[in-house]
Amino acid sequence: MLEVTAVIGIATASALWRMAFTQGSMKRGMEAILHEVQLLRNELGKDIIILKEDVKDHEMRIRQLESTTKGRR
């Protein structure tokens, strides 16, 4: 999931960079790239938080399974 988002962000940044050169407005192009990178960073931050929560949930479930199987022995 993170890799796909990163690739999309890089492709978008590349497209914006190309547009900046063709339009002749480097400042406007750089601002657009910066904005896109900021959006990507926010999305990645949200994805990382979700993944951390999933890992905690999986760890909890594994511990519950381990404790359940220890009681059966």
User: Is residue 24's pLDDT more than 90?
Assistant: no
User: Is residue 69's pLDDT more than 90?
Assistant: no
Q: What is the mean pLDDT of residues 35-56?
A: 92
Check residue 57 and give its pLDDT.
Answer: 94
Q: Residue 23 — very low, low, confident or very high, per pLDDT cuts 50/70/90?
A: low
Task: Give the H/E segment covering residue 22.
Answer: helix 2-23
All structural domains of the chain with their residue ranges: 2-72
Tokens of 8: 């999309």
Tokens of 60: 């909890």
pTM of the entire predicted model: 0.52
How long, in residues, is the chain?
73
Q: How far is CA 40 from CA 13, 18, 44, 71, in A?
A: 10, 19, 6, 47
Check residue 11 and give its pLDDT.
Answer: 77
Q: Residue 25 — very low, low, confident or very high, per pLDDT cuts 50/70/90?
A: low
Q: Is 73 helix (H, G, I), strand (E, B) or coil?
A: coil
